[in-house]
Amino acid sequence: MLSVETTVSDLVVERPSRSRVFEELGIDYCCGGGVPLVEACAGAGLDLDKVLAELERREAGQTGDEAGLTDMGLDELVDHIVETHHAYLKEELPRLSFLVDKVANVHGGAHPELLELRGMFERLRTELDEHTAKEERMLFPACKEIEGAETIPSLPFGSVKNPIAAMMAEHVDTGEGLGKIRELTGEYAVPKDACNTYRAMLDGLADLERDTHYHVFKENSILFPKAAAAETALAGG
């Protein structure tokens, strides 16, 4: 039985597939996932019993942590995030930029919100590009160095907790940006006059939000706590 007092983040740590249910129901499991399930349901205006029933229905016949995320070491987890989520962003963001720009040019007259969407998306793309670059240049190599060290390494930014705090703050900003994009598109609703490019844009933006939520969850709830705990252990407690 699921405990309603367990935080949403911890529920996803235990079983990553739960993220799909929370995503569909509009329950934040990444930056805002540190609240008990009962509180998250109340905040989202959802019936707790129905949410529990849906989680249990999806989990019927499933066992264990199918992604194996919690069993990964820092080195393996960093590589997983880079190869899965950073690679996705490097491929998808340029494609979405093209689609957002094209749709704004063609449909902006009838849908002026698309002009605002274009500016907002480009800001988000720049932030994500800079964010992932900082992780790959500074934080992720430090995580790997900590895992293989016998004594606490001398890092250019002091404790690994310093860049972790900065990255987590940027995660919040990214979540807010994605939320504004969702609002501007009316929850990614397809208008009657939408062409296939318009539909592809909306589908891509929705997928970007889903993937980024799961990406941020893996860092905030698994990678970062593991790195901080490993550093603390090397420092003698």
State the CB neighbour count (10 A cutoff) for residue 194: 16
Task: Please compute Rg for the chain using Cα positions.
Answer: 19
State the CB neighbour count (10 A cutoff) for residue 66: 10
Whole-number pLDDT of residue 237: 55
**Residue 187 structure tokens:** 């929850």
Whole-number pLDDT of residue 1: 67
Closest CA to 140 of 76, 67, 78, 215: 78
pLDDT (tens digit per residue) in 109-150:
999 999 999 999 999 999 999 999 999 999 999 999 999 888
User: In the chain, which stretches have pLDDT less than 70?
Assistant: 1, 61-67, 237
Whole-number pLDDT of residue 57: 85
